[in-house]
Chain A
Amino acid sequence: MRRWFWWFLLVPQGFLLVGLLEDLGLPPLDMAVLSSLYLSWFAQRSALPFLLLGVAIGRTLVDEATLPIHILVTGIPIALLLPLRTMFVAQRWLWQAVAAALLAIAIPKLSGLFGRAFDQPSVSSILNGWQVVWSALLIPPLLSVLRFLPPFVGFTESADQKKVVAR
C-alpha cells in the first residue's frame, strides 16, 4: 500500500519538476516518455493500469486536455511496446534509446490525434525535435538509476517475474 502512496504522491509532481528543471536550463525532457518506457519494459504487468493512472494525472497537471485523453495518449504506446519486453530481456540501452525516441514522437502525435478527435487540442501535441534527441540520450541512463529508487523500485519487475513471462 505504501508503494502506491508514494507513486501517486511523487509521479504527478515529477511532471512539474521536469518543467522546473527545464526552466532552469536543463535539456527538455518529457516525463510522459520516461514513465511510459518504464511502464512498458520494467514495471510489473499486474500493476500497469493504476501506474498508468498516476502518469496520466501528472500529465493533466501540465497539459490542458482531460485525464482520459492522457490515459489513452500514454497507454496506447505502452500497450504496443509491452509485448516487445519479452524480446528484449537484456534491456540493452540501444533498444531503450530507440524506444524512448519512438515514444517522444508517438506521444505528441497521439495527443494531436486524440485532441482533434475529441476536440481537446493541447500544446503538447507539438513535436519537439530536441526533445526526441534528448529523450534518446538521457532516458536510458536516467531509468537505470530511477528504477531502483522510490517510487519506481516498488513496481520494478524482478528477474524471476521476467523469466515466468518469457518462458
Chain B
Amino acid sequence: MTPVIVVDQLSKRFGARLAVDRVSFDVRAGEVMGLLGPNGSGKTTILRILAGYLRPSSGTACVAGFDVVAEGLEARRYVGYVPEDVPLYTHMRVDEFLAFMGRLKGLTGRPLHDGMASVCERLALSRVRHMLIGKLSRGYRQRVAIAQALLNDPPLLILDEPTNGLDPRQIIEMRELIRALATTHTILVTSHILGEIEKVAHRVAILLDGRLLAVQALDGNETGRHLRLTIRGRPQETVQTCLRAVPGVGDVTMQGIARGEVAEYLVQVHTVSLAESLTAALVAHGFGVLEIRPERADLETVFLQLTRAEATV
C-alpha cells in the first residue's frame, strides 16, 4: 500500500529541549496508526508538524507525497486535523463555524452546503447546528472539531487525543466513530491510554522522550512473533538452552512457575513458522510438547518491555 505519511529522521527542538529526536515511520493508505507514549513523549509535536502547525528542526515529513514545509499548502489540503484541546471559536454558532472552516478549505456553494449537511448527520450534530459552540458540552465540541476536519473529505485524518476529557459513554461513541471513519480514511491518532489505541489502531508507533522505540502491528499478522509453549521436561534451564539453540530464536523466558515437570515458555522468534523446528528440537532432546501457539503481543506488555529496556540503557 502507498504510504500517505512518510516521516524521515524528523527532529524538533524547542530551545535546549529536544522534543522529537530523529523519528522515522510511515502510515499506509487505509491504515489506522496510533502514536503511543507517555505525556511529553513528542506525540503532539509530531502531529503538529504533520498538520503544518510546527516546522521541523531537521528531517522531513511528507503527506500524500507533499513535503509539509516546502509544499505546506498542498499537504494541508489532504489533512483533516483535530487538535488536542479542541480549540474552537466559542462565540460562533456550529453552522457558522463549519461554514467558515469549509470556506477556508476551498468549499463554496453547493459542495459547502452538502459537506456541512453530511458531517452534521454523520456526527449527530443536526440538533445543535444553530447553537453557540460555547454552550456545547465537551463531547459535542469534540464532534464539531471532527466535523470541521471532515468537511472537505480529506483522505488523512490526524486526531490528537480524541478521547481526552470525555465521559465513558462518549469515549465508546468516539471509538465507534473512529472505527467507522477508518473504513474510508487513513487515520493517525495519538493517546497516552494504551487500551484506547489497542481498540482502534492497526499499528502503533511507541514513543518515549521524543524517540521512536518501536512500530508494532496489532492486527495479528506481525504481532505473532512470540510463541507460547507448554513443555514437559526438566531441568527448565536445559529446556531454555534447547530452545535458544534453534536458529531464529531470540529471547526465551519461563512464564509463571512450573507445575511439576510442566512449564510455560515465551519464545521470541523471527517468524511463527519456527514452531515446527522448535517442536523437532524439543522432541529430539526428549521433552514433551503439550501445547504451542502464537502469542499475540499485548500492547501493554510491549510498551512496558520497551520503555523498561530503554530506561536500563
Q: Do A and B come from one complex?
A: no
Chain A residues within CB distance 8 Å of chain B: none
Chain B residues within CB distance 8 Å of chain A: none
